[in-house]
A and B are shown apart, each in its own frame.
Chain A
Amino acid sequence: AQSVAQPEDQVNVAEGNPLTVKCTYSVSGNPYLFWYVQYPNRGLQFLLKYITGDNLVKGSYGFEAEFNKSQTSFHLKKPSALVSDSALYFCAARHDSGAGSYQLTFGKGTKLSVIP
């Protein structure tokens, strides 16, 4: 069965420090992976995706993610955290449910708090 794990419920980081939000996945076939961010009382916003190609994917707001096939991981990173990055982050994997129908399987989310 397809699954996405985010092992940390919360990550705290000081402003200006690098941040990492962890994600591991279990999928059949080639993984299509996504990161979304959710600010309070707002919908999920797309950050970046990995489909194929370079293992380092660059996305919105200075975020990037590193795909590691051997470790089945897709960690989200940013070189220098901002207070405004504080939000809930979700990792997701695309799941082929048959006949060309795709859906996303999400992790439980990681709350990122950037401390001034």
Chain B
Amino acid sequence: GAGVSQTPSNKVTEKGKYVELRCDPISGHTALYWYRQSLGQGPEFLIYFQGTGAADDSGLPNDRFFAVRPEGSVSTLKIQRTERGDSAVYLCASSLRGLGNTEAFFGQGTRLTVV
């Protein structure tokens, strides 16, 4: 597609439920990133994929968070047993090869609200 697409744009879920957030990167981009943006803050790194593998998952806050990219394109961020503190905008970005000398392109984000 023309840009990074994230679905859904908004998600409201009850505390304790499981959610999946989807990211469609720009076609041909091998690098994919997930970030989380809380109100009044800048985006915080969660995980980085190069192709199908998670090259860096050091930003995942705990083991309730998990992400996959099985075919090296679409990625899904999965959150188990959601908590109110998980409420944030989850941003996905892709870049051609990585941030070696190229910029990342961001999607519009998924606003997750845990009630």
Contacts and interface: CB of A to CB of B under 8 A. Distances in A.
**Chain B interface SS verdict (over half):** loop
A104 B56 contact: no
Nearest to B105: A46
A12 interface: no
Interface in B30-82: 33, 35, 40-45, 48, 50, 55-56, 58-59
A108 B37 CA distance: 10
B25 interface: no
Contact of B43 (A44, A45, A97): A44
A107 B108 contact: no
A99 B45 contact: no
Given A32-B99, A43-B91, A104 B104 contact: yes
Interface of B: 4, 33, 35, 40-45, 48, 50, 55-56, 58-59, 91, 93, 98-101, 103-109
